[in-house]
Amino acid sequence: MSVITALIIILCAAQGVGSPPPRAEMPTATLPPLHLISPPILSRGDVREVATDDREHGVLGYAGSGDPLTEAEMRAVLTAAGWPEELHAEALAVAYCESSWRPGVVGDGGKARGLFQIHASPWFAYAGEDLSAWANPVTNARTAWAVYQYDIARGYVPWQQWACRRVL
């Protein structure tokens, strides 16, 4: 059993949730074990450490702007969040420009949050996501997907809401 699988089982048991999905259903790329993550910003007391998880997809996340996710981890997050594979390259480029793939980044005077630097108001509510989970990589990517679809449905150019659309 991998460390990630064991950690997920412990988290599920502690919160009274059923077993995580069988290993065969888990994504091949997962985040590093939470006990190995110590982003520098946390030592300055700028943000509180928040361990988050998306048990449905076996993806763990953390708050703190320290260690970035790898490309494999980002692809797993995008897949779990519902992004079509044909848009992964664009989403990876925008997220890297916005946050350097660091889930806990806060920008734009505290308004923009997470991997995609999504403005807390109005987008998390629009996407039906809990704002308190903004640092969860899958939650942030699901919200970004909802914002992307919002723009397309209204005839806007793709990535209208992101300053980093210029990197595409």
Three-state SS sequence of 83-120? CCHHHHHHHHHHHHHHHCCCCCCEEHHHCEECCCCEEH
Of residues 143, 148, 144, 116, the one with CA closest to residue 130: 143
CATH architecture of 3-167: Orthogonal Bundle (1.10)
Q: Report CA Rg, the chain.
A: 16
Which residues, other chains included, contact 64 with Cβ-Cβ below 8 Å and sequence gap of 6+? 37, 39, 41, 42, 47, 49, 103, 104, 135
Of residues 39, 43, 63, the one with CA closest to residue 53: 63
Tokens representing residue 36 in the block: 């190995």
Condensed to tens digits (0 to 9), the pLDDT of residues 60-119 reads 444 445 689 999 999 999 999 999 999 999 999 999 999 999 999 999 888 999 999 999
Question: What's the average model confidence in pLDDT over 35-63?
Answer: 36
Prior bond to 21 cis, omega within 30? no
| Cα torsion angle, 90, 94, 97, 102, sign | negative
Residue the block writes with tokens 């594979």: 85
**C-beta of residue 93 within 8 angstroms of C-beta of residue 80:** no
Sketch the domain layout of the chain as residue ranges. 3-167
Q: Residue 167's pLDDT is what?
A: 87
Condensed to tens digits (0 to 9), the pLDDT of residues 21-33 reads 343 333 333 333 3
Tell me how long the chain is: 168
Q: Residue 166's pLDDT is what?
A: 87
| Band (57; pLDDT cuts 50, 70, 90) | very low
